Amino acid sequence: MAGDLAGSRTSDVMTAIRGRIAGRALAPGDRLPSIRRFAATMNVSPSTVVEAYDRLAAEGLIRAQRGSGFYVSNAALPPLKLAAETPKARAVDPFWISRQALDADDAVLKPGCGWLPADWMPNEALRRAIRSLARSESDLLAYYGSTHGSPALRRLLLGRLAEEGIGAGPDHLMLTNTGTQALDLVCRFLLRPGDTVIVDDPGYFNFQALLKAHQVKIIGVPYGPSGPDIGAFEAILAAGRPKLYITNSAIHNPTGATVSPQVAHRLLNAAAGSDMTIVEDDIFADFEPEPSTRLAALDGLSRVIRIGSFSKTLSASARCGYIAARPDWIEGLVDLQIATNFGGPNPISSEIIAHMLAGGGYRKHMEELRRKLVRVRRETADRLRRLGIEPVILPRGGFNLWCRLPDGLDSALVAQAAVAGGVVLAPGNVFSVSQGAAGFMRFNVAHMLEPRVYEVLAAAMKTAS
Amino acid sequence: MAGDLAGSRTSDVMTAIRGRIAGRALAPGDRLPSIRRFAATMNVSPSTVVEAYDRLAAEGLIRAQRGSGFYVSNAALPPLKLAAETPKARAVDPFWISRQALDADDAVLKPGCGWLPADWMPNEALRRAIRSLARSESDLLAYYGSTHGSPALRRLLLGRLAEEGIGAGPDHLMLTNTGTQALDLVCRFLLRPGDTVIVDDPGYFNFQALLKAHQVKIIGVPYGPSGPDIGAFEAILAAGRPKLYITNSAIHNPTGATVSPQVAHRLLNAAAGSDMTIVEDDIFADFEPEPSTRLAALDGLSRVIRIGSFSKTLSASARCGYIAARPDWIEGLVDLQIATNFGGPNPISSEIIAHMLAGGGYRKHMEELRRKLVRVRRETADRLRRLGIEPVILPRGGFNLWCRLPDGLDSALVAQAAVAGGVVLAPGNVFSVSQGAAGFMRFNVAHMLEPRVYEVLAAAMKTAS
C-alpha cells in the first residue's frame, strides 16, 4: 500500500510537470523548479520529486544536467507509438513469413507461425524460475558468465545426451544465445563463401535465409515420409563436394516426418564416404511420442553436430541454444562466439531454462502438450479436409501439419490474401529451395482453434483462385 | 516451511535411489520401484516420489520411458564437475585475455578484466526488475518478441538519443543480444572479405578478434590523449579505401582518453571525403562526468553508426545491445538478425534493462559509480607509481587505467607470470594491432583494491625482468 501511495504521488508530480510543458509554462531549455521548492508546492517529499524528475528524464521529456538540476529537453519527444515494424507489402520469401509472424499484433491470428500459443507454455513454472533467479547470487546476475555457458544447464544437457546413449563430456558442449545462433556459429566455423550446403526440400525456411548470409550454394534434397530421398542425396554427393547437410531430426519441419533407421544409417555412410558434416537440429525432439533413431546417437558426435534450443517447449523469450560436437570443434566455436558475441550466452536465460529442466514439471508439461496436440492435430486435419486441404502425412508429434491445397491454388497468393484478413499463413514455397511447393501450406495446429482462421482461409482461397 | 519439508522429503527419496544404484541393488537397465510401492516404502506421498524420480531423470541417473515407468540409465553419468574451461597455456592474444578473464574461478583476481565487481553493480534494482518480470504478461514471457526488440527499451533509448540532440525515430533503432553482436551485424552488413577496416592502436582487443572472423585487413591508427592521430588517419584514407572505422567514443578503451571536438570534426570530414562509415561504440559514455563531443551527435546518424550496451553499467548477465543507424541500414540489419538469430534479442533481458533504466535509480547509481571511481582511480595510480608503473593519462571517467611499465619489461611475460599467481592482467599488445604496446598494461581500478594484486604484480615483474 505504502508503495502504491508513493507511486501515485510520483505520478502526480510527473503529471503536473507534463502539464506545464504541454501548456508552455515550461519551454524547451527551461530549468525545472528546484526539488525542494516543487516538493513544497506539491506537498510531497523531495525524494518523490527526484523520483518523478528521474522518470521524466528516462522518458526524454526532461534531462538531468550533471550538477546543475533538470531542464526541459530541447529535442523532439520520442514517438509514443512505435511504427509498424514490418511493411505488409514485401515479396513472399523466408523473411516475409518470419517478419509477418514475429511482428504481427495481438489481433492477428498466426497459424503460419512456428511456436505454440503463450497459454500452452509452462508460464507458472517459468514465473517460478524467474522468481528463483531473483534470489540467486550477485555474481550470476552481474557477470558475463563462462565462455561455454551456464554449468547448471550444461550438466542437465549432458544428462539428456547420456539418455540418448551419446557419451559426451563437458568439452563436447557449449551454450549459445539461440538455436539459430548455434547454427550460424557452426556455418561460420565450417563454411567459406562458395561452398555447397544441402538442405531438405521442403525444409525449415530460415536455414535458407541463414545460408544466403553465408554466401554459399544451397542444394535441396527432396524430403519424404521417411526422410530425405537417399538416392537423390547420394547423387548430390557424387556430383559435387557439399560441405554440410543441415536437417531437422526427430520431427521434421515442415513435414512432421521422421527419418527411418535405414535412411539414417545410409545418410551417415554417404556422409562418411565424402567426408561431409551433418548438422542435426534437435528442436522438436521432445515432441516425439517415443524417441526415433537419431543421427548424433548413431554417429556419436564424430561427423554429426547436434544443435537445439528450448524455444518451442519452454520459452522463446528466455532464449538459449546449444551445440554438441567434437571437442576440437567446440574449442574453435567458443573462440568464434567470444569474437562475435563476447563471452557465452545470456546467463540469466540459461539459469531460467536450467531451473525449469531440473524441476520435475518438465516431463509432465511435455506429456500434456503431446496429449493435447494429438487431439488438436486430428481436429485440424478434419476441418482442413472440409476446405479441400489435404494433410500430406499425419505426424507422430509436434504442431506442424504440411498440407496440399486444392489443385491450381498458389499458396503465396492465398497467404497474401489472408494477411489482409488478419491471418498469417506459411505458404509452401518459403520452405522450398526448388520453389516446387507452391501448392502446399504449413499449418500450426495449435493456432487453428479459432473459427475465424477457417473463414479467412476459405475467403483467401476464393480470392486466390 | 511446508515447501522446505517437501523438498527434504524429495531429496530423501533421491538419496535412497542413488544409494541403491551405487550399491548395485539397482543395475543399469533395471526398472525402478513403482511410484506407489516406493511411496509406501519411504512413507511419503506418491507425488514426492514422482518429483524425486523426475529430478533424478533430469540429472541423467535414471530415464523415464514414456508410458512404462523409470529405468536406471545405461549410459555413463554426466561428470559431476565440469573441466576447467580454458587451458592456461595459450598464446597471449585477444582470446587469451578474454578467456582468462571470463573463465577465471572466484579465487582469481582480475584487474585485467573489462567489467566492474558484482558488488559495484545495482543488484537490488536488478532483483526488483527480475521480480517485476516474473509478474509480466505471459506473451512477454513466452514469445520471441518483435524483430526490432522490446518497444519499452527502444522508447527509452530514443529518449536518450534525443537528449544528445540525435533526432532518431523508431526506424533508426534496433536491439541486439549484445553490444558485440551489434558490431558483428554491422560488419556482416557492410564488409566483405578483403575489405580494410581502421581501429585504434591501442584499442579494444575484441575488435581485432571480431574483424579477423570477417577476414578483413585491419589497420591501426595511433591513439593519443585527444583521440586518433588525425594526420595518420587522413594518410590511411589517402593511401587506401577503408570501408569502416571502429572506435570507442566518450571514454576510450584502453586509454581512457576522449576525442576532442576538433578531432571529431576532422574525423567526420575525412570520412565524408572518402565515403567511409564510422562505428561509435557508446559503451562507456555514462561513465563521463559531463558529456563530450560525440560523433553520432555531430553527424546525425548519416555515416556514423552508434552501438552500445548496458553490460558495464547495469548487468553483463542480462545482456542487451543496440544499433542506431540510417533507417535503410536498420531494415537490412533486422533481416540479417532474423537470418542469424531468428527474431530480435532475448525479450526478458531487454525488459529487465528497460525496467532499470526507466526507474529513477539509474542516474543515482551512475553518480555513485563516478564518485567511487574518482577516488579508486587516484589511489590505484598512486599505488602503481610505487611499483614504477606510470599512468599514461588520468582519465575523466571509467575504470580503465592505461599504464607504462618500467623500461624493458614485457607486459605479456608479466601477465603470464601473474596468472600463475592467480591474477589476470591485460598486457598492452593484446590492444595493439602494430604490437607496439609491449611496455604497457591496462588496469581495471575497481579490481585493484586487494593488496594481493600488488604483491603478485610485483613478483611477476621480478620474474619477467
| Closest CA in chain B for residue A313 | B142
pTM: 0.89
Is residue A87 one of the residues assigned to a domain?
no
Chain B residues near residue A359 by CB distance under 8 angstroms: 54-55, 58
Q: How far apart are CA A392 and CA A413, in angstroms?
A: 20
Q: How far apart are CA B424 and CA B97, in angstroms?
A: 8
Tens of pLDDT along A376-406?
999 999 999 999 999 999 999 999 999 999 9
Distances (CA, A) of A282 to A185, A279, B27: 16, 9, 29
Residues A181 and A68 in one domain: no
Residues B165 and B227 in one domain: yes
Q: Is B84 on the interface with A (CB under 8 A)?
A: no
- Range 88-107 of B in CB contact (< 8 A) with A: 95, 98-99, 102-103, 106
Element (H, E) at B62: strand B62-65
Domain boundary at B358, B384, B400, which?
Answer: B358
Please state the φ and ψ torsions of residue B105, each to the nearest 5 degrees: -80, 175
Residue written as cell 558442449?
Answer: A173
CB contact under 8 A, B348 and A348: yes
Whole-number pLDDT of residue A360:
76
CB contact under 8 A, A340 and B63: no
From the CA of B174, how many Å to the nearest CA of chain A? 10
Q: How far apart are CA A399 and CA A291, in angstroms?
A: 17
Using DSSP bridges, classify how beta strands A400-404 and B173-176 pair: parallel, antiparallel or unpaired: unpaired
Q: How far apart are CA A436 and CA B121, in angstroms?
A: 55
Chain B residues near residue A156 by CB distance under 8 angstroms: 58-60
Task: Kindly give the confidence (pLDDT) of every residue in chain B, 465 residues in length, as a single tens digit, with 9 standing for 90 and above.
Answer: 344 566 788 989 998 888 888 777 888 888 898 888 899 988 899 989 988 998 888 877 888 876 678 888 876 444 445 545 555 567 888 888 898 899 888 889 999 999 999 999 999 999 999 999 999 999 999 999 999 999 999 999 998 898 888 989 999 999 999 999 999 999 999 999 999 999 999 999 999 999 999 999 999 999 999 999 999 999 999 999 999 999 998 999 999 999 999 999 999 999 999 999 999 999 999 999 999 999 999 999 999 999 999 999 999 999 999 999 999 999 999 999 999 999 888 999 999 999 999 977 899 999 999 999 999 999 999 999 999 999 999 999 999 999 999 999 999 999 999 999 999 999 999 999 999 999 999 999 999 999 999 999 999 999 998
Q: How far apart are CA A451 and CA A423, in angstroms?
A: 12
Please state the φ and ψ torsions of residue B344, each to the nearest 5 degrees: -80, -170
- Range 168-207 of B in CB contact (< 8 A) with A: 169-171, 177-181, 184, 188, 193, 206
Tens of pLDDT along A288-318?
999 999 999 999 999 999 999 999 999 999 9
In this prediction, residues A330-354 reach a mean pLDDT of 94
Contact between A344 and A145 (Cβ < 8 Å): yes
Q: How far apart are CA B412 and CA B398, in angstroms?
A: 24
Give the best residue of B63, B98, B124, B144 to mutate against chain A (max A CB count within 10 A): B144
Q: Is B216 on the interface with A (CB under 8 A)?
A: no
Give the best residue of B80, B141, B337 to mutate against chain A (max A CB count within 10 A): B141
Is residue A83 one of the residues assigned to a domain?
no
Tens of pLDDT along A420-456?
999 999 999 999 999 999 999 999 999 999 999 999 9
Q: How far apart are CA A377 and CA A399, in angstroms?
A: 7
Q: How far apart are CA B59 and CA B69, in angstroms?
A: 16
Q: Is the dihedral of CA B447, B453, B458, B461 positive or negative?
A: negative
Q: Is A427 on the interface with B (CB under 8 A)?
A: no
B348: nearest CB among A318, A359, A364: A318
Chain B residues near residue A153 by CB distance under 8 angstroms: none
Tens of pLDDT along A247-265?
998 999 999 999 999 999 9
Is residue B280 one of the residues assigned to a domain?
yes
Domain boundary at A328, A358, A388, which?
Answer: A358
Chain B residues near residue A144 by CB distance under 8 angstroms: 102, 115, 311, 316-317, 319
Whole-number pLDDT of residue A87:
58
Tens of pLDDT along A30-77?
889 988 889 998 899 998 998 899 888 887 788 887 777 888 887 644
Contacts of B74 (CB under 8 A, 6+ apart): A165, B28, B29
Contact between A459 and A417 (Cβ < 8 Å): yes
Residues B254 and B227 in one domain: yes
Cβ neighbours, 10 Å, residue A312: 23
Where do the H-state alpha helices sit in A123-214? 123-134, 138-142, 151-163, 179-190, 205-213
Set of cell numbers at residue A205: 525456411
Residues facing residue A175 across a β-bridge: A322
Q: How far apart are CA A172 and CA A339, in angstroms?
A: 20
Is residue A86 one of the residues assigned to a domain?
no
CB contact under 8 A, A141 and B317: yes
Where do the H-state alpha helices sit in A223-360? 230-239, 261-273, 295-299, 327-341, 347-358
Contact between A159 and B59 (Cβ < 8 Å): yes
Please state the φ and ψ torsions of residue B62, each to the nearest 5 degrees: -130, 165
Chain B residues near residue A179 by CB distance under 8 angstroms: 342
CB contact under 8 A, B317 and A180: no
Chain B residues near residue A98 by CB distance under 8 angstroms: 147, 338, 342-343
Is residue B137 one of the residues assigned to a domain?
yes
From the CA of A403, how many Å to the nearest CA of chain B? 24
Residues A299 and A316 in one domain: yes
Tens of pLDDT along A181-197?
999 999 999 999 999 99
Residues A169 and A309 in one domain: yes
Chain B residues near residue A357 by CB distance under 8 angstroms: 58
Residues B231 and B264 in one domain: yes
Whole-number pLDDT of residue B1:
37
Give the best residue of A153, A315, A319, A396 to mutate against chain B (max B CB count within 10 A): A319
- Range 362-381 of A in CB contact (< 8 A) with B: 362-364, 367
Is residue A85 one of the residues assigned to a domain?
no
Could you write out the three-class secondary structure of chain B?
CHHHHHHHHHHHHHHHHHHHHHCCCCCCCCECCCHHHHHHHHCCCHHHHHHHHHHHHHHCCEEEECCCEEEECCCCCCCCCCCCCCCCCCCCCHHHHHHHHHHCCCCCECCCCCCCCHHHCCHHHHHHHHHHHHCCCHHHHHCCCCCCCCHHHHHHHHHHHHHCCCCCCHHHEEEECCHHHHHHHHHHHHCCCCCEEEEEECCCHHHHHHHHHCCCEEEEEEEECCEECHHHHHHHHHHCCCCEEEEECCCCCCCCCCCCHHHHHHHHHHHHHCCCEEEEECCCHHHCCCCCCCHHHHHCCCCEEEEEECCCCCCCCCCCEEEECCHHHHHHHHHHHHHHHCCCCCHHHHHHHHHHHHCCHHHHHHHHHHHHHHHHHHHHHHHHHCCCCEECCCCCCCCEEEEECCCCCCHHHHHHHHHHCCECCEEHHHHCCCCCCCCEEEEEHHHCCCHHHHHHHHHHHHHHC
Residues A242 and A387 in one domain: no
Residues B293 and B383 in one domain: no
Contact between A202 and A257 (Cβ < 8 Å): no
Set of cell numbers at residue B41: 516404502
Whole-number pLDDT of residue A184:
97
Give the best residue of B174, B248, B342 to mutate against chain A (max A CB count within 10 A): B342
Residues B111 and B217 in one domain: no
| Closest CA in chain B for residue A320 | B346
Q: Is B108 on the interface with A (CB under 8 A)?
A: no
CB contact under 8 A, B213 and A340: yes
| Structural domain count, chain B | 3
Residues A324 and A353 in one domain: yes
Cβ neighbours, 10 Å, residue A116: 23
Whole-number pLDDT of residue A78:
44
Chain A residues near residue B123 by CB distance under 8 angstroms: 138, 141-142
CATH code, B368:
3.90.1150.10
Q: Is B36 on the interface with A (CB under 8 A)?
A: no
**Mean pLDDT over all residues of chain A?**
92
Using DSSP bridges, classify how beta strands A196-201 and A217-224 pair: parallel, antiparallel or unpaired: parallel
Contact between A109 and A101 (Cβ < 8 Å): no
Torsional class of B326: left (φ above 0), alpha (ψ -120 to 50), beta (otherwise): beta
Q: Is A383 on the interface with B (CB under 8 A)?
A: no
Set of cell numbers at residue B239: 593511401
Set of cell numbers at residue B349: 533481458
CB contact under 8 A, B343 and A171: no
Q: Say which amino acid occupies A401.
A: L
| Closest CA in chain A for residue B287 | A66
Using DSSP bridges, classify how beta strands B321-324 and B173-176 pair: parallel, antiparallel or unpaired: antiparallel
In this prediction, residues A115-142 reach a mean pLDDT of 96
B158: nearest CB among A78, A102, A317: A78
| Closest CA in chain A for residue B96 | A335
Contact between A299 and A268 (Cβ < 8 Å): yes
Domain boundary at A331, A358, A385, which?
Answer: A358
CATH code, B154:
3.40.640.10
Residues B333 and B192 in one domain: yes
Domain of B397, in residue numbers: 94-121+363-464
Q: Is B332 on the interface with A (CB under 8 A)?
A: no
From the CA of B67, how many Å to the nearest CA of chain A? 9
Is residue B88 one of the residues assigned to a domain?
no
Residues B112 and B127 in one domain: no
Nearest to A292 by CA among A396, A447, A206, A369: A396
Is residue B379 one of the residues assigned to a domain?
yes
From the CA of B303, how many Å to the nearest CA of chain A? 21
| Degrees, nearest 5: CA angle B386-B390-B392 | 160
